[in-house]
Amino acid sequence: MNRRTIRIAIIIGMTSLLISMSLVWTIGVVGSAASDKTYVGSEKCKDCHDQIFAKWRQTPHANVIQEVKKNPDAIKGDFKTPDTARTFKKNEVVMTSGLIWKQRYITKDWKILPAQWNYETQKWAPYNVDKWKEEDWRSFCGYCHTTGYDSKKLAWKELNVGCEACHGPGSKHVENKEEKTEIALGEPPDIVNPASLTSDQAAMVCGQCHTRGTSPDGVFPFPVDYRPGDVLSAKNFTPVPYTDTKAWWPNKTVKQHRQQYIEWRVTKHAKAGVNCSVCHDAHVTRNKFQTKTSQNNLCLGCHPQISTDAERGHAPVGGTLRQHSDCVGCHMSAVGKSAEVGDEHTHTFRFIAPIATINLGGGDVKNQPNSCSVCHAGAPVDALQADFAERMPFRSSRP
């Protein structure tokens, strides 16, 4: 290769680098760069995106908050049967919060009443009994249950997680009528399409709410001044540290709900660009997890080489001609708690060996659960570890 060819190659390479850096910068400031954009509400999006709107309207995001005046049937808790955990009456409830694991109740003064209804057990459970009179739903929960939230005014454009919660304020998009398919250098698009962002930034759109933590000043338990397309960083959010024993098990897997993003970001999936939207569809509800297909099909779609042979497969059952067939059961163990322990699946995608319970939990699954005990409840942890070590000795010491 002569000098002229080398020089041309260097110029082309540097030009490509500068263009890519400019694009990343442009995409990275979509939300904050366009301060003149305002929120218009999901009903406005319906004018042009009626089919997507109709599907989204049936999702948990669209219905997590219900106003009792508009929908009296929204209250699902049992207010007829006396219960010591429930110290309030049905007529005190103005809004409900929750559709899948639990339902909480909000008063006209924005207080979250001190008991929740757990769907799985169909029972009442105490909630925030000591502090409920001091905390305001608007500043405690408002950001993640509304769209177009304003932390200074404690106000919002729309109740529930609407289109603009993920796509950013849409006033410019409505004005332009037609969605731009190309982004000019230095010019932000009129609406954010998470599919056009980098894998990390697209995940941050979900991560703004699917992460526990606080604003940098510690005032709010959610990010401040974040808009889809921005980089979710220390300037607007501080994730809950691993030292918080309420949020994390000793092996750094989820203990408390709503931490999918913070778990995902340290995984091999994250490094490979496999983000939330690969498995989940925010526009459609096929199941309560809003996954695109069944759990095993999701995994085998990217991991077709995994054998399910009954005797020599990836996870054979010792001494039998059966195969553990549930990828999620082992690699996304249900160890987190929303209403009850087991509601939330870990998103580390790591199998939690019984040795974790032995080494980190003193042999007690209440101190440190493991993947085997989630299904084999009551089985001696030592026996589970011995069985696992026999079948997979190369992984038996890794918690």
Confidence grade of residue 23 (pLDDT, cut at 50, 70, 90): very low
User: At 13, is the pLDDT very low, low, confident or very high (cuts 50, 70, 90)?
Assistant: very low
Average pLDDT, the chain: 86
Question: Mean pLDDT, to the nearest integer, of 302-307?
Answer: 88
Instruction: Report whether 76 contacts 102 (CB < 8 A).
Output: no
Distance of CA 164 to the CA centre of its chain: 17
Please enumerate in sequence order all residues whose Cβ is within 8 A of that of 3, keeping only pairs 6 or more positions apart, or say none.
none
Task: Please give the pLDDT value at position 322.
Answer: 59
Predicted pLDDT at 57:
96
Q: What are 244-284's pLDDT values in tens digits?
A: 999 999 999 999 999 999 999 999 999 999 999 999 999 99
Provide the percentage of residues in the chain whose pLDDT is more than 90.
71
- Report how far residue 287's alpha carbon sits from residue 113's, in angstroms, rounded to the nearest whole number: 29
Residue 10 has pLDDT above 50, yes or no: no
Q: Which residue has the higher pLDDT, 394 or 49?
A: 49
pLDDT (0 to 100) of residue 306: 85
Of the given ranges (24-28, 221-225, 288-292), which has the lowest mean pLDDT? 24-28
Mean pLDDT across 6-29: 37
pLDDT exceeds cutoff 60 at 181: no
Q: From 258, 186, 255, 208, select the one nearest 26 (Cα to Cα).
A: 186
The mean per-residue pLDDT over the stretch 384-397 comes to 73
pLDDT at 316 over 90: no
Per-residue model confidence (pLDDT) at position 186: 52
Q: Are 282 and 59 spatial neighbours (Cβ–Cβ below 8 Å)? A: yes
In the prediction, which pLDDT does 326 show? 77
Question: For residue 300, what pLDDT band results from cuts at 50, 70 and 90?
Answer: confident
% of the chain residues with pLDDT over 70:
84
Is residue 27 pLDDT above 50, yes or no?
no
Task: Check: CB of residue 331 under 8 Å from CB of residue 350.
Answer: yes
139 or 182, which is more confident: 139
Nearest-CA neighbor of 191 among 155, 165, 161? 165
| Least trusted range by pLDDT, from 11-15, 71-75, 325-329 | 11-15
User: 12 vs 16, 18, 101, 184, 185, CA distance in Å?
Assistant: 6, 10, 54, 20, 18
The phi and psi torsions of 349 (rounded to 5 degrees) equal 65, 20
Tell me what pLDDT residue 179 has: 53
How confident is the model at residue 188, as a pLDDT? Answer: 65
Return the pLDDT at 393: 63
pLDDT band at 17 (very low <50, low <70, confident <90, very high): very low
Higher pLDDT, 161 or 328: 161
pLDDT at res. 294:
85
Closest CA to 95 of 82, 80, 81, 110: 110
Range with the lowest mean pLDDT among 181-195, 356-370, 377-391?
Answer: 181-195
